[in-house]
Structure 1
């Protein structure tokens, strides 16, 4: 006997205003009696332990309680029997009730180094005290509705930056300290996760030759502990830029 949860979308991506749809697939060599088929949708924000050296946020594991985002349960089928062979039971559950003014906030799915915002759908076929409950769980992805965005569409915000020997906190070569260097540029600080990060960079001066330029994308995770905000950054992507020399 087996039970499987299959969502209507292979990507498993849904918006809060959309129904979470799919089917429950039960395969059994004989008919079974049950006391109801129940579907539960849960969402929560948690601290997590991944092993390795403990960071600032990770050291607070056990102090910060999980935050519940969503907890909804519904009976898909009342008590009865499921026949032998393969049985498919369709379901449809709204994450956010349509037609009502809801103040509830749905955080987008996020899996960071220390923090995760996760949504799970679980089906339980309850079979009484003498039989073990049949269960299956699948994670689905929540993306914000366009109506939830502060601006539609989000206008890009360009930030101008510069890098010199005076802005660096790590030790530099003597040639750089005496001769100096200056790099200027600008980049967009607002973009969709599906769009590229755009910008430009200009090396105005350098006392030593430059052989490569790397761009590091950092993930910054923060939690509010009392009146203090604890923040930790981790590297998620490093890209080497192509260089062209103009003489």
Structure 2
């Protein structure tokens, strides 16, 4: 005697906005008639916070601040105790996507290392203690409604040379001479649009082995008494391999991976911020890194 459950949402892409109603049908397929103790559908939205091992024991206050934050917690009885016939049964459902308590906002779905924001539907067909309860979960995505894009984005020019590095005067003398300039079209970007710019190598005493662009997430968990801040790499894109021709612009182009990025988020319990690192590796394995803080949003 088998029971198969499936939660089918009416919206194929499973993307919803706060204030909308999530709807669909619960499909139950039974090989024969079965008894049940009720059918319940749960809607849950959680912010799960954690801290890395290096921070455990540093701030005792962190243990209270990394408790899960509930954004949605609703239950709906789809059917009372009774019987399900053999074959396929479909039960429609509708649930509002509203956060009734603090923080009174549904954050965007985000899958990080120390911060995870997830939304889930869970259905249970309860059975007697002699039969196993059938369950099914379905994840869906919450996004912010797009806002109007700014009229004009300001470019960011940068220059990298031994003089711009945070080194002592003695250390700078030992660094090979080089000059790299470039421009970022903007450090404020929509998560659905590419991050763009270009760089130019003007001259270098030591041949270049590689030029890479790293997208980094900076996740902060904690409160006023203490916090843990950790930076982890999302993706690394090589934009130049081997020594490059001087004075020829090299394009910078990054697409933000879905779910692993979200609009920059700053709350009293946690933060999700993003940075871009420009990494130049020279032939003698000397490495130079230039860091740019970026602001992500969702615009139309």
In 2 relative to 1, CA 13–118 (structure 1 residues): closer, same or farther, beyond 3 Å?
Answer: same
Aligned partner of 1:153 in structure 2 is 149
Instruction: Please list, as runs of the form range in 1=range in 2, the aligned pairs for 1:45-60 lying within 5 A after superposition.
Output: 45-48=47-50, 54-56=53-55
Asked whether the equivalents of residues 57 and 231 of structure 1 are also in contact (C-alpha less than 8 Å), the reply is: no
- Structure 2 unpaired stretches of 5+: 249-300
Q: TM-score, normalised by structure 2?
A: 0.66
SS of the aligned residue for 1:241 comes to strand
User: RMSD in angstroms over aligned alpha carbons?
Assistant: 3.4
Instruction: Please list, as runs of the form range in 1=range in 2, the aligned pairs for 1:167-182 lying within 5 A after superposition.
Output: 167-168=164-165, 177=175, 179-182=177-180
Aligned partner of 1:11 in structure 2 is 13
Instruction: Please list, as runs of the form range in 1=range in 2, the aligned pairs for 1:215-230 lying within 5 A after superposition.
Output: 215-230=213-228
Q: How many residues align?
A: 237
* Cα distance in structure 2, aligned partners of 1:11 and 1:168: 46
Question: In the TM superposition, what is the alpha-carbon distance from 1:176 to its structure 2 partner?
Answer: 6.2
* Cα distance in structure 2, aligned partners of 1:180 and 1:198: 23
Aligned partner of 2:194 in structure 1 is 196
Instruction: Please list, as runs of the form range in 1=range in 2, the aligned pairs for 1:40-189 lying within 5 A after superposition.
Output: 40-48=42-50, 54-56=53-55, 63=64, 64-96=66-98, 104-129=104-129, 131-146=131-146, 149=147, 152-154=148-150, 156-168=153-165, 177=175, 179-189=177-187
SS of the aligned residue for 2:216 comes to strand
The structure with the largest strand share of the pair is: 2
Question: In the TM superposition, what is the alpha-carbon distance from 1:30 to its structure 2 partner?
Answer: 2.0
Asked whether the equivalents of residues 39 and 75 of structure 1 are also in contact (C-alpha less than 8 Å), the reply is: yes
Asked whether the equivalents of residues 181 and 207 of structure 1 are also in contact (C-alpha less than 8 Å), the reply is: no
Asked whether the equivalents of residues 123 and 136 of structure 2 are also in contact (C-alpha less than 8 Å), the reply is: yes
Q: TM-score, normalised by structure 1?
A: 0.78
* Cα distance in structure 2, aligned partners of 1:170 and 1:26: 66
In 2 relative to 1, CA 43–33 (structure 1 residues): closer, same or farther, beyond 3 Å?
Answer: same
- Structure 1 unpaired stretches of 5+: none
Question: In the TM superposition, what is the alpha-carbon distance from 1:229 to its structure 2 partner?
Answer: 4.0
* Cα distance in structure 2, aligned partners of 1:166 and 1:43: 49
Aligned partner of 2:4 in structure 1 is 2
SS of the aligned residue for 2:22 comes to strand
In 2 relative to 1, CA 108–3 (structure 1 residues): closer, same or farther, beyond 3 Å?
Answer: same
Greater CA drift, 196-205 or 106-115: 196-205
